Chain A
Amino acid sequence: MKRLILLLAFAGPAYADDDFIATVTDPLTKTECSACHMAYPPVFLPAASWQKIMNNLPDHFGEDASLPEADARNIEAWLVANAASERAIKGVDLANPPLRISELPWFKRKHDREVSAKAIARAGSMANCAACHRGAESGYFSDD
């Protein structure tokens, strides 16, 4: 019983700490999604967006990111199961789901004014979270 309580305590930090965003914990998802960019936290996109992305891997933001069918379906299922809550995607058109995290209202609100063109150039792309958020890979996106 004690052990169970300990386990429950470990399951908690995602909600206990406002700064922490749950990272990708599924090994296959983490390996495949972090090959060219960081494995973005699944809560950054609604389920409909992940489905659209995972069903168009041969044209993944201008590149072929094809995976064996079974891998793609397993990753899709994990991302969908851990996707953004309804509250987090209020106002997003789910009939036409956004493909880029940077298209979401909360992302724009937090970046549009603050991030200069120079900073984006230095990062290489808006996709490179860790260029500014040094703790991004571990789930910490505090304002650096």
Chain B
Amino acid sequence: MKILMILAVLAAAPAFAGDTSPADLLARYSAESGTPADPSRGQALFTAAHGGGKPDTPSCTTCHTMDPTKPGQARTGKAIEPMAPSANPARFTEIAKVEKWFGRNCNSVLGRDCTAAEKADVIAWLNTL
């Protein structure tokens, strides 16, 4: 009974660290978009220079670099941990954090929200690295 209660509390807990995984997010975003994710589309989105966003951040690679297995650097000079889960196991393990940063950075780079398909594609590509 006690264990059941603990489980109930855990299940009801809000988005704390460790509430998802790269595979789980990939499945969720793919299901939401209704199409299978495509790593090559994700790579193209991540590495392209886009218009429409803020002038200082034309591409994901502005801060994350062309090699997401390596650390990036914010425009402030501060290091950014690698985006690829193989190089940084903490990546894509917290839904609220993932949504917060997709929200911010898609707006900074593209000037709009990313679609579920785009999020799935990017995660699919990062998962292959």
Which residues from chain A sit less than 8 Å from chain B, CB to CB? Answer: 36-38, 58-59, 61-67, 123-125, 127-128, 131
Does A64 lie within 8 Å of B74, measured CB to CB?
A: no
15 extra A-B contacts, CB within 8 A, seeds A36-B76, A66-B104: A36-B75, A62-B54, A63-B54, A63-B75, A63-B108, A64-B105, A65-B104, A123-B77, A124-B73, A124-B75, A125-B75, A125-B76, A127-B76, A127-B77, A131-B77
Given known A-B contacts A58-B107, A66-B103, A36 and B54 have beta carbons under 8 A apart: no
Question: In the complex, what's the smallest C-beta–C-beta distance from B40 to chain A, in angstroms?
Answer: 27
Q: Are A124's CB and B77's CB within 8 A?
A: yes
For the complex, what is the distance from the CA of A63 to the CA of B57, rounded to whole Å? 8
Contact in complex: B104, A62 (CB < 8 Å): no
Are B78 and A36 in touch, CB under 8 angstroms? yes
> Which of chain A's residues have a CB closer than 8 A to the CB of B57?
62-63
Of B56, B73, B78, B100, which contacts A63 at CB under 8 A? Answer: B56
Shortest CB distance B54–A (Å): 5
B residues with CB within 8 A of A: 54-57, 73-78, 100, 103-105, 107-108
Q: Do A128 and B77 contact each other (CB < 8 Å), given the known contacts A62-B54, A62-B56?
A: yes
A37 near B76: Cβ-Cβ < 8 Å? yes
A-B contact pairs, 6 of them (CB 8 A): A37-B77, A63-B57, A63-B104, A64-B103, A64-B104, A66-B104
Chain A residues near B100 (CB-CB < 8 A):
66-67
Cβ distance B124 to chain A, nearest Cβ, rounded Å: 24
Q: How far is the CB of A142 from chain B (nearest CB, A)?
A: 20
- Collect the chain A residues with CB atoms within 8 Å of residue B107's CB: 58, 64, 66
B108 engages A37 (CB within 8 Å): no
- Measured CB to CB, the closest approach of chain A to B73, in angstroms, equals 7
| Chain B nearest CB, measured from A112 CB (Å) | 19
The docked-state distance in angstroms from the alpha carbon of A63 to that of B77 is 14
Q: Do A64 and B108 touch (CB < 8 A)?
A: yes
Distance between A45 CB and nearest chain B CB, rounded to angstroms: 16
Q: How far is the CB of B70 from chain A (nearest CB, A)?
A: 16
Rounded to whole Å, the gap between the CB of B62 and the closest CB of chain A is: 10
Q: Inside 8 A of A59's CB, which chain B residues have their CB?
A: 54
State the CA gap A38–B57 with chains docked (Å): 20
Which residue of chain B lies nearest to A32 when distances are taken between CB atoms in the complex? Answer: B100
A124 → B minimal CB distance (Å): 3
Q: In whole angstroms, what is the CA distance A58 to B111 when docked?
A: 11
Residues of B close to A125: CB separation below 8 A: 75-77
Minimum CB–CB distance from A98 to chain B (whole Å) comes to 17
